[in-house]
Structure 1
Amino acid sequence: MIYGEAFKNQSRKSEKDFTRNRKIRFVPLICMLLRMIRKSTQLELDEFREIFLPESAETTSYTKQSFSEARQKLSPIAFTLLNDEIIRGFYADDDFKTYKGFRLLAIDGSVMEIPNTKEMQQTYGYIRNYKEGFKAARARSSHLFDLENKIAISTCLTRYDDNERNLAKQNIEKLLSFEQSHIPNLILFDRGYPSADFILYLQEKGLKYVMRSQHCFYKEVENTTSLDEAVRIEVTKERAKALKRQGTPIKKGTVLEVRVLKVELPTGEIEILLTNLGVDELSHEESKSLYFKRWGIETRFNELKHKFEIENFSGEKPILIEQDFYATVFLSNIASIFEQEAEAELQEKNKGKTLKYEEYRINKNILIGKLRNRLIHMILEEDARKKDILYERFLKELQRNIVPVRKNRAFKRDKQSRANRYAKSKRRSL
């Protein structure tokens, strides 16, 4: 796909872009961005050419300025298109992990640190911190994530003040735009998502859901007395007026049929879960462990921010921010596919063996560190047989770098506000 004219045409800002034989051509530009620019730009450019284009490196040079000019011609949609292609391929034959016959998904948002410039504040919004008058530019990202297969099906980067339910709908529409499998979808949501209009939207789309709710969501939920109870929430005249004022009008008399589950957390707190799954699809006993699986999307956010350094942007313009963001999301999906294939082979090899630990997994740091070069070698290799050899060699390499799985560990979530993690004035030399 990456070499196709159709992909190039969809990915360039103008039909005149990438038509002449420039120093920085279309495919190498894509590869440079996929390699994640985390050091100083000129160092990254020189290193890329020395490793992947050694012949041209001896006769020509890429400057930071020419690279920047080439990037201005590339639409961030290029990496969304690449991601869409691997999503279609991954789910094409229905051979993927499921939960009780469902494709188990989660939707959640995360605040992104972006370069704190006036343009970024105007484009994406900002937060104010404890210093009077101080603003810090921030953006919001929303992800629709396959929890069992560790694949981000749809993501978006938008303004900090955008409504998370609206972003969730965008991601769901993207999900539904793909050719639909006979395997139904089940989506987990945190407690920021319950609302009458959003539940109605999910019902109309034929989607199953489990979402955490506040006790006072509606009086019908608040008044439940058992651990597992079906309630009917009717949109009364007063509720219809309130919903209209909120900008989410629902016709008077509309009824939402919701199942309310109450589960006790280790802290003793009672958690309220709302779902449209029947008792035959999800028992009360299973609901707690199912909802706990939502933690997988939090783990992915942690990986994106701390392992892939998604907030360590290589530019200060919106187009460059979005290129980096969507390229990193795509790369994280490629990493997940390699991780799962390598772990599947590893488990097969370990069958019947007496091991110190019950389960081992691929060392994610090693995977991410090596992927940035291995993937580019595979993309640039034109011989299909050699490409397959590189692929298999990388899988074997990953299986030599494993770590034990230590179960039943919990960590306190750190949500405190802080200054940006990555300063643009201090790009790394190493």
Structure 2
Amino acid sequence: MKIAHKITNLLDCPEFISAHRVLPHHFTRKRHLTFKNLVLFLLNQPNSALQTELDQFFRVLTDAALETQVVTAQAFSKARKKLKPSALQALNEVLQAQIDLCRQRQTWQGMRLLAIDGSTVHLPLEDALARHFGAHSGFPVARLSVLLDIADNQALHNLIVTPDIDERGCAAMHLEHAPDNSLILFDRGYPAHWLFAECQRRQQHFLMRMPVNFNPEVTQFLHSDKAEQTIHLTCRSWSTRQACEQAGVDPQTVIPLRLIRVILSTGEVEVLATSLLDADRFPLALFSDLYHRRWGIESDYRRLKQTLQLDNFSGRTVTAVLQDFHAQQLLKNLAMLMQALQQPLIEQQCRRRKLRWKANFAGAPSRKGCLG
């Protein structure tokens, strides 16, 4: 696969290595754990005894008949300290750029359909991790946040931060990496005047589920019989103005919002707010199922946490946690790309079956890895 070759070639590139090593002399001597081998091992999803994983990795790498101890676990722990986690983030950026070049993206009404959502992950019981990321009920924990392309399940940008940075703060960081002409789906924990204004400033369209008590206009709309309504949101409270000022947003910014009523199968009523004001181009009927496509990001977290065992970290340092998190995101993206490329062949082979068959994601991240 040409995309995989593009990424693996970077791992031998002197400029790339220089940009993502800690010190200039790192990865200059000939060792078994070269820059390339180290990154590939991290992408190998090590989740059992570290020495066993290393022995199996080098047996596959050297095509040996038997496992032998080529590299010790201590040598790996020492080598990974020389690698910046930014290397894995940069590789994901290259992957996304290559997918763009291959015209593999799908759109909704001519727009990229994205979602932003957060989660948390428990970390190894180390004081250094608790000091860096924070703790909850005495256990080290970090906040996760992902900008996901819903159509192909590609994580375009991901964050692992301290819990004092809330989901809205993470969302603002993601906006810098959202492609033009996109529609971003948010859950009901995100609506805020300053975030609306930031999306408007960046010309990023959005669709958010609104808390029913967000403001009087939303409450009034909820109790009306209207299917949709356009309002102009302004700062009314001191706390709202203060939040805008802290975010660097002008509190005087007026936000036009289109409120949309959605009735669930249970009879419950949801209120959605969107920046898509053109009712002719985006009629009401389009929104009945659109918001629920946000569920794709929940499924994406399930892949990371259950299938890839995100919380089973291969190290107990801040660097190790960052490396593992970004390696898992890159591995997941590669596996989803492989699955998408295999799907037409699967459908051709299974065209006579009653049910639609799909590639099994659990088998995609193989022992040799997606770049092996």
Query: After TM superposition, is the score higher than 0.5?
Result: yes
Q: Which residue of 2 aligns with 1:343?
A: 343
Deviates more, 1:273-282 or 1:324-333: 273-282
Query: Secondary structure of 2:358's partner?
Result: strand
Q: Which residue of 2 aligns with 1:109?
A: 118
What CA distance in whole angstroms lies between the structure 2 residues aligned with 1:234 and 1:324?
Answer: 43
Asked if 1:162 is matched to 2:165, the reply is: yes
What CA distance in whole angstroms lies between the structure 2 residues aligned with 1:252 and 1:307?
Answer: 44
Q: Which residue of 2 aligns with 1:397?
A: none
Aligned partners of 1:49 and 1:56 also within 8 Å: no
Aligned partners of 2:229 and 2:259 also within 8 Å: yes
What CA distance in whole angstroms lies between the structure 1 residues aligned with 2:104 and 2:42?
Answer: 31
Q: Which residue of 1 aligns with 2:228?
A: 228
Q: How does 1:268-287 map to 2 (within 5 A)?
A: 268-277=267-276, 278-287=278-287
The one-letter code sitting in structure 2 at the alignment partner of 1:32 is: F
What CA distance in whole angstroms lies between the structure 1 residues aligned with 2:315 and 2:68?
Answer: 28
Offset, 1:349: 4.4
Distance 1:59 1:38, change over 3 A: closer
Q: Which residue of 2 aligns with 1:74?
A: 83
Offset, 1:21: 1.4
Aligned partners of 2:241 and 2:251 also within 8 Å: no
The one-letter code sitting in structure 2 at the alignment partner of 1:171 is: H
Q: TM-score, normalised by structure 1?
A: 0.79
Offset, 1:255: 1.5
Query: Secondary structure of 2:25's partner?
Result: coil
Query: Secondary structure of 2:194's partner?
Result: helix
Distance 1:25 1:264, change over 3 A: same
Q: Which residue of 2 aligns with 1:356?
A: 354
Offset, 1:83: 0.3
Aligned partners of 1:109 and 1:164 also within 8 Å: yes
1:196-246 Cα deviation digits (max 9, x unpaired): 01001111111111000101112122222212111112234xx3x332433
What CA distance in whole angstroms lies between the structure 1 residues aligned with 2:344 and 2:27?
Answer: 41
What CA distance in whole angstroms lies between the structure 2 residues aligned with 1:29 and 1:123?
Answer: 24
Aligned partners of 1:244 and 1:250 also within 8 Å: no
What CA distance in whole angstroms lies between the structure 2 residues aligned with 1:30 and 1:140?
Answer: 24
Distance 1:14 1:249, change over 3 A: closer
Match of residue 213, structure 2, among 216, 225, 244: 216
Q: Which residue of 2 aligns with 1:258?
A: 257
The one-letter code sitting in structure 2 at the alignment partner of 1:6 is: E
What CA distance in whole angstroms lies between the structure 2 residues aligned with 1:24 and 1:252?
Answer: 53
1:350-402 Cα deviation digits (max 9, x unpaired): 4xx43221x1101222223x2x415343xxxxxxxxxxxxxxxxxxxxxxxxx
Q: How does 1:16-415 map to 2 (within 5 A)?
A: 16-54=25-63, 61-128=70-137, 135-176=138-179, 184-224=181-221, 225=224, 226-236=226-236, 239=237, 241-246=238-243, 247-248=246-247, 251=250, 253-277=252-276, 278-350=278-350, 353-357=351-355, 359-368=356-365, 370=366, 372-377=367-372
Q: How many residues align?
A: 357
Deviates more, 1:155-164 or 1:288-297: 155-164
Query: Secondary structure of 1:295's partner?
Result: helix
Offset, 1:50: 1.3
What CA distance in whole angstroms lies between the structure 1 residues aligned with 2:50 and 2:200?
Answer: 48
What CA distance in whole angstroms lies between the structure 2 residues aligned with 1:249 and 1:30?
Answer: 38
What CA distance in whole angstroms lies between the structure 1 residues aligned with 2:134 and 2:30?
Answer: 39
Aligned partners of 1:243 and 1:249 also within 8 Å: no
Offset, 1:59: 8.9
What CA distance in whole angstroms lies between the structure 1 residues aligned with 2:44 and 2:113?
Answer: 30
Offset, 1:105: 0.2
Q: TM-score, normalised by structure 2?
A: 0.91
What CA distance in whole angstroms lies between the structure 1 residues aligned with 2:296 and 2:79?
Answer: 37
Query: Secondary structure of 2:92's partner?
Result: helix
The one-letter code sitting in structure 1 at the alignment partner of 2:54 is: L
Identity between Structure 1 and Structure 2 (%): 29
What CA distance in whole angstroms lies between the structure 2 residues aligned with 1:102 and 1:196?
Answer: 24
The one-letter code sitting in structure 1 at the alignment partner of 2:172 is: K
Offset, 1:159: 0.5
Deviates more, 1:218-227 or 1:246-255: 246-255
Offset, 1:55: 6.3
What CA distance in whole angstroms lies between the structure 1 residues aligned with 2:25 and 2:65?
Answer: 24
